[in-house]
Amino acid sequence: MGNIGDIINPVISVENFKGLKFRILLIDGYDFLYTALVRIRVPELMTFDNSGNPTHHLLYLMEYSTNLLEKKIKPIYIFDTMEFDSEQFLETKNKKKDLILTYMKVKNHFDDEEIPEDEISVNDMYKLLIEDISHFIKIIGSRVIIAPDDLLPQAAKLIFDKTAYGLISDSYNCFLFKVPFLYRNLEFENETIQRITLQDVLEYNNIDFDQFLDICLLTGNEYYSNIHKKGYGAKTSLESIKDYGSIEKMIENNVINCQDTDISAVRNRFLNPIFSEIELEKPKLEVQKLKNYLYRKGFSSEEFDEEVARLYRAFRNYDLKQGKIEQFFS
Fold of 5-199: Rossmann fold (3.40.50)
Residue 249 is which amino acid? K
Q: Report pLDDT digits (tens) over 273-293.
A: 888 888 888 888 989 999 999
pLDDT digits (tens, 9 = 90+) for 147-204: 887 889 999 999 999 999 999 999 999 999 999 999 999 999 889 999 999 999 999 9
Are the C-beta atoms of residues 77 and 142 closer than 8 Å to each other?
yes
In a 3-state reduction of DSSP, which class is residue 100?
helix
Return the CATH architecture of domain 207-271.
Orthogonal Bundle (1.10)
Q: Which residue has the higher pLDDT, 302 or 182?
A: 182
Residue 99: CB atoms within 10 Å = 22
Domain boundaries, the chain: 5-199, 207-271
- The pLDDT of residue 82 is 60
Q: What whole-number distance in Å separates Cα of residue 129 and Cα of residue 151? A: 16
pLDDT at 227 over 80: no
Confidence of residue 303 (pLDDT cuts 50, 70, 90): confident
Q: How far apart are CA 175 and CA 179, in angstroms?
A: 5
The string of pLDDT tens digits covering residues 21-55 is 999 999 999 889 888 888 777 777 788 888 888 88
Q: Percent of the chain having pLDDT more than 90? A: 48
Helices marked H in the chain: 5-8, 29-38, 56-70, 90-107, 119-139, 151-160, 198-205, 209-219, 234-244, 247-252, 263-271, 287-296, 301-329
Same fold: 5-199 with 207-271? no
More confident residue, 219 or 200: 200
Residue 229 confidence (pLDDT): 66
Q: What is the pLDDT of residue 174?
A: 94
pLDDT at residue 262 in the model: 82
Mean pLDDT, rounded, of the chain: 85
pLDDT digits (tens, 9 = 90+) for 69-123: 999 999 999 998 766 555 555 555 666 777 777 887 787 766 655 555 555 577 7
CA distances from 220 to 140, 223, 311, 317 (A): 39, 8, 42, 45
* 290 SS3 class: helix
Distance CA 215, CA 205 (A): 11
